[in-house]
A and B are shown apart, each in its own frame.
Chain A
């Protein structure tokens, strides 16, 4: 059963009708509704294509936050073997909003880190809805350091509304933890790949996103502030999030034009939530391709190229 987003309501009606017809036919064998049901399916498929062809930035935000969208946990389970989670920042706690550890991509050992939002009420609370505290970033720094010393590539999966704005998080140095994590990404002498799989929320996302290659899923978003936050500050009205989403240029397509990201990974028709297997396959292929490409570079080149890539960002506007 799929959860429909508000703009998908017309689709929900058609798909619902087709389902109803089929249910009727199952109950009553004399009825032949297949023809109508197929027609409805066709109509639904066409509608899905047209809905997703030109998603507005705000709709992209909604898709990126879709509760059934595959999360970090799903990608790790589907794409990696021998995943061995490693825990704790050796300082204060283990933050469940950030998961990570050693794993194999095919035969290749890597370190994988990512934000995990959770998939039901219980796990969402346990994962703090993917909003990391300083311990999460410090755990990531530890794991990246491990990767660096043992020559393993780092794969980071980004999916967070932002770093957690809580009292304890501030008390224990949220800013410093984020700054150190970004710094660590930029010090690595091993390949680092960052993929925004859902929401790339501000500093909490950047902390994992200073990789040699930065990719985004087709309908994911990456922004300096949430559209709601931006609307409440600049429009003084949080309900202007549609306008804010438009102005912020937070879609993968705009970010690619701006030269902020390197690749867009295509999603199945109707978004990642409609076909998890296909999504996994394309993300897996993208990681493989990027790692193959980067494995030819020397440690010094990796370091230097990564820096140059970020220093060059901002040279071209949207018009270019």
Chain B
């Protein structure tokens, strides 16, 4: 052994190993196959810059992109009973929960937050499809009720982003009972004359579509999102014929009168604030007036840069 192996190589190795190399610098668009650089994907809110395909976005990223400067406060959600049925299929339900929590670093399938969009205070609830398929269990029900109660208390609009495979089977009948429970939450908003805007994202299906996702004052969907009660596979099995690819997609639903708008993710924020302010009887949003950028906060910079550009355009 000589000094090269004892000293130089470990140093060289450590130089390389110290630099964190994310293993997914590049994302392949599942639609058009274009390789996209991760920073570009993030800046574009997980929308493919080549074909406009809307890829999944985590609930937290969505909230950061929605609120001014990426700043929001989470609204506490009452914790429901854990595993009320002691459900066990091939795995135990608590084990599935732990795996989902580890995978997503979130505790459940919905985040509720309060904050401002263009200085317009709102409450937002975002369902996280990456957490057990966004499935609606007691927690999601409690989250929507908490969101509605907070909105009523603060006299703010509620914007809900739906994304779910449906009800959470592991909570059995108690997941089904979230259909009436969340419907009551929507009624609280309606009675308080507060706007309830649903943004349907890919996919929104089953009991979720058949309750709070279809009871909004305004229904906006992201492009090409699957929105349905029974999924295409179930229908194909029932009727024994192949369905066209556009069936049950956003554009199909708007043609059949189930949606008000199909809106690109980058335009959602503007559209939401425009609608909320009109329904709340507020003056038009001043879009340039945003909090000063926080140097450590990349999304804040982006928002400020965007605001700056809009200011320049206005002048």
- Residues in chain A within 8 A of chain B (CB atoms): 163, 165-167, 169-176, 178-180, 182-183, 185-187, 202-203, 206-207, 209-210, 222-225, 230, 233-235, 243-244, 247-250, 255, 258, 260, 307, 310-311, 313-318
Contacts and interface: CB of A to CB of B under 8 A. Distances in A.
B230 A249 contact: no
Contacts, number: 166
Please indicate which of the listed interface residues B85, B138, B175, B257 has the most CB atoms of chain A within 10 Å of its own CB: B85
Interface stretch (B63-71, B235-243, B260-268, B284-292): B235-243
Interface stretch (B33-41, B117-125, B181-189): B181-189
A210 B187 CA distance: 14
Interface in B73-119: 80-81, 84-90
Contacts of A210: 180, 183
B220 interface: no
Interface of B: 80-81, 84-90, 138, 141, 145, 167, 169, 171-177, 179-181, 183-184, 186-187, 206-207, 209-215, 227-230, 234-235, 238-239, 243, 247-248, 256-258
A255 B176 CA distance: 12
Given A202-B207, A225-B169, A244-B89, A314 B177 contact: yes
B174 A175 contact: no
B258 A176 contact: yes
Contacts of B207: 202-203, 206, 224
A314 B184 contact: no
Contacts of B215: 179-180, 183
Contacts of A206: 176-177, 179-180, 207
Contact of A165 (B169, B179, B235): B235
A175 B89 contact: no
A243 B210 contact: no
Nearest to A171: B256
Contact of B172 (A233, A250, A310): A250
B81 A317 contact: yes
B177 A260 contact: yes
A247 B168 CA distance: 13
Contact of B187 (A175, A187, A207, A224): A187
23 contacts: A165-B230, A165-B234, A165-B235, A167-B239, A169-B229, A169-B230, A170-B228, A170-B247, A173-B256, A175-B213, A176-B210, A179-B183, A186-B183, A202-B167, A202-B176, A203-B211, A206-B180, A224-B172, A224-B175, A260-B177, A313-B177, A313-B181, A317-B85
Contact of B186 (A163, A175, A183, A316): A183
A310 to B, nearest CB: 5
A235 B230 contact: no
